[in-house]
Amino acid sequence: MDCLFCSIAAGDIPAKIIDSDDVSVAFLDIEPFQDGHTLVISRKHVTSVLDDDGELARISPMVTKVARRLVDSLGASGVNIMSNAGEVAGQSVHHLHIHVIPRYDREPGISAIRSTMPRRPIEEVAAIVTGDPHRK
Ligand code: AMP
Ligand code: ZN
């Protein structure tokens, strides 16, 4: 099957992976709303939460773990957690994924979920979140 996120989970397409386990993979979003915007995906191909028979529950520990790690490592004050299901909801990649979006005091509020400020380079964010200064 030709699926971008299955390919990332399989290691066939590079991504800034910050954590993974048997059921999930977490990697930095390539077009971050805010610095550290992360996607948590199921290893199993599921189209969305509307086509889900338990993957959301299985990947939820990783969502929580990643949310805490982003807050601790990047100095965020909170997170937004979101999953788009269906094109009408803005879903563009049809493989279950949860957006974990760190939020910073400088841009508070739900209307400021997408930053208008310049983003830090994704390599710099990956190095901070993973604790590996050589992380590319
Ligand atoms: P959605 O619009 O909810 O389907 O979210 C898909 C997300 O995947 C968007 O925020 C994209 O920026 C992100 N994305 C697309 N391609 C990649 C990629 N190769 N690596 C990381 N994130 C990606
Ligand atoms: Zn897939």
User: From the CA of 4, how far away is ligand 2's center (Å)?
Assistant: 6
CA–CA dist 46, 56 (Å, integer): 10
- The 10 Å Cβ neighbour count of residue 9 is 22
Q: What is the pLDDT of residue 1?
A: 73
Pocket test for ligand 1, best of 30, 94, 97 (most atoms within 8 A of CB): 30
C-alpha of residue 65 to centroid of ligand 2, in Å: 22
Ligand nearest to the CA of 14: 1
Domain range annotation of the chain: 4-109
From atom 15 of ligand 1, which residue's Cα is the shortest distance away?
30
In tens, the pLDDT along 13-64 reads 999 999 999 999 999 999 999 999 999 999 999 999 999 999 999 999 999 9
pTM: 0.96
Domain 4-109 homologous superfamily, CATH: HIT-like (3.30.428.10)
H helices present in 12-102, as ranges: 55-74
- Tens digits of residue pLDDT in 67-95: 999 999 999 999 999 999 999 999 999 99
5: CA distance to ligand 2 center in Å? 5
Secondary structure of the chain: what % helix, strand, coil (to 5)?
35, 20, 50
